[in-house]
Amino acid sequence: MRVNAASAGGERDDGARHPRDRLLPQLSLSDATFLVVASVIGSGIFLTPGRIADLLPHAGWFLAVWVAGGLLSLAGALANAELGAMFPRAGGDYVYLREAFHPAAGFLVGWLSFFVIQAGTVATLATGFSAAFAQLVPLSEAEQIGLAVALVIATSLLNYRGVRHGARANNLTSILKIGALLLFVGAGLATGRGDAARLAAADAGSAAIGFSAFGLALSPVLFSYLGWNASVYVASEIRDPARNVPRSLFVGLAVVVAIYLAVNALYLWALPLAELRHVANAGEATAAALFGPVSGTLVALLVLTSILGTLNATILTTPRIAYAMALDGLFFRGVDRVHVEYRTPAMAIAVLAAASLVLVVLLRSFPSVLDYTTFAILLATIADTAALYALRVRQPARPRPYRAWGYPWVPALYIAANAAIAGNMLVQRPRECGIGLATLAIGLPFYWLFTRRGARATPPR
């Protein structure tokens, strides 16, 4: 017999909002769209192209993998647009899997998203910011850790004080990073120092490109697209969510894909492919080639602004996962508390900050967590796209303000493509993928404890 959410301490309701959700709808369509843009465009566009060029040493394939990543993200957005409009609640994929399959499925994906994908992302961004800042102002390792810790605390406090504070900061950093990247591309082309022939070149010393290499290259690309579904996590705080959640996903992702293709084309135009294959920061190397060594400071400032915006967006959205789970009794006590004055999930923000700070101290420097993070992302997106099919069967009468374009074929292709990428990663990167699976398994005893606690708290009928 299928167990509903009420058996896990929560309640299933036919309304749009969770009956105990006390967060207020304060975000507009532009807020939600900038949230998607800020969540996606972070450090990946600068730090991953060198690795991608090493895996795919051909300009055509290099650009094709960025297009493929954008199309895969769009396919996922089509499914999430239907789900987000159906269930405009805090929590995103946790809610979809709980409704489609079982509270345990929702819990495990929520656990994976909160502690692996998002807390790891916060720690990575904070340590990445301190490492980039150290290029401008020399800092010891201890000072870099201290800066990362201070950054997590300050950004958490900003979002603790109100979702409008976090949204305004997010809108500002999004506008700055979009403008700066467009200026970077325009000014770079204006120098005339590149070579258009490089856009179709291949590295003569490279081997033939196969499916395995393309699949591995999709790992850093998908990592760079991480965050395209950011607005679904705050759906209960978006005004007119049935209309604005889908629009924010599509408009935000379209902006990101256009910027990513333009910036990566500039990298290829400015640098020989053999050189691009060996750079750690493609933005810095490209700026040096086009504008000279003095451009390093400007690129460092661009990277800092980009990372800061993504960090703020991640800390704004992620606590809603734990908050939604706590509303159903599937998280630590008190995490469902909403601040009386600021109307924010204060305890959930504090838990995210604490988990992220632990990772900052343990990692100590900009970590190489890309593969296991991407593997976790693939598992989560496969699961919530599968929820689309289950809900079409199990809740056919539920209102669907938006229906996924291309159903059932586009979601099926999305699941198949992500499963193939995940399978390839499991073979090629077993250690990193094993860490992700182990973290998922650790959630099982916690689910048992939370449901047992809920059963003891429920009086017999």
CB half-sphere exposure, 389, CA atoms < 13 A = 12
Is the model's pLDDT at 455 over the cut of 70?
no
First to last CA, the chain: 20
Between 18 and 411, name the one with better pLDDT.
411
Query: For 22-56, how does the pLDDT look when each residue is reduced to its tens digit (9 = 90+)?
Result: 888 999 999 999 999 999 998 889 989 999 999 99
Query: For 162-215, how does the pLDDT look when each residue is reduced to its tens digit (9 = 90+)?
Result: 999 999 999 999 999 999 999 999 999 999 999 999 888 776 555 556 678 888
Query: For 269-318, how does the pLDDT look when each residue is reduced to its tens digit (9 = 90+)?
Result: 999 988 999 888 899 999 999 998 878 788 888 889 999 999 999 999 99
Average pLDDT, stretch 77-90? Answer: 95
C-alpha to C-alpha distance for 69 and 48, rounded to whole angstroms: 13
pLDDT of residue 206: 56
pTM (two decimals)? 0.88
> 16: Cβ–Cβ under 8 A, 6 or more apart, which residues?
87, 88, 89, 241, 242
Are residues 394 and 100 in contact, defined by beta-carbon separation less than 8 angstroms? yes
Amino acid at site 160: Y
pLDDT of residue 378: 87
pLDDT of residue 5: 38
The pLDDT > 70 percentage for the chain reads 91
Domains and CATH numbers, the chain: 18-453 (1.20.1740.10)
Between 321 and 418, name the one with better pLDDT.
321
pLDDT of residue 370: 61
Are residues 82 and 405 in contact, defined by beta-carbon separation less than 8 angstroms? no
For the packed helices 93-100 and 103-112, what is the interaxial angle rounded to 10 degrees? Answer: 160
Are residues 245 and 238 in contact, defined by beta-carbon separation less than 8 angstroms? yes
Distances (CA, A) of 338 to 49, 54, 183, 345: 41, 47, 41, 5
3-state secondary structure of 27: strand
**φ, ψ for residue 405, nearest 5 deg:** -65, 140
Average pLDDT, stretch 400-428? Answer: 92
pLDDT of residue 8: 42
What would the DSSP string read from start to end of 152-213? HHHHHHHHHT-HHHHHHHHHHHHHHHHHHHHHHHHHHHHH--S-GGGGG-B-TTPPPP-HHH
pLDDT of residue 364: 60
Query: For 3-14, how does the pLDDT look when each residue is reduced to its tens digit (9 = 90+)?
Result: 333 334 444 444
C-alpha to C-alpha distance for 60 and 273, rounded to whole angstroms: 11
Amino acid at site 255: V
pLDDT of residue 338: 94
Amino acid at site 453: R
| pLDDT, mean over the chain | 88
3-state secondary structure of 346: helix
Lowest mean pLDDT among 245-259, 278-292, 371-385: 371-385
Q: How many Å is the Cα radius of gyration of the chain?
A: 22
Average pLDDT, stretch 405-412? Answer: 95
- Residue 58 forms beta bridges with which residues? 202
Nearest to 449 by CA among 333, 350, 347, 354: 333
Tell me the pLDDT band of 15, cut-offs 50, 70 and 90. Answer: very low
Are residues 147 and 133 in contact, defined by beta-carbon separation less than 8 angstroms? yes
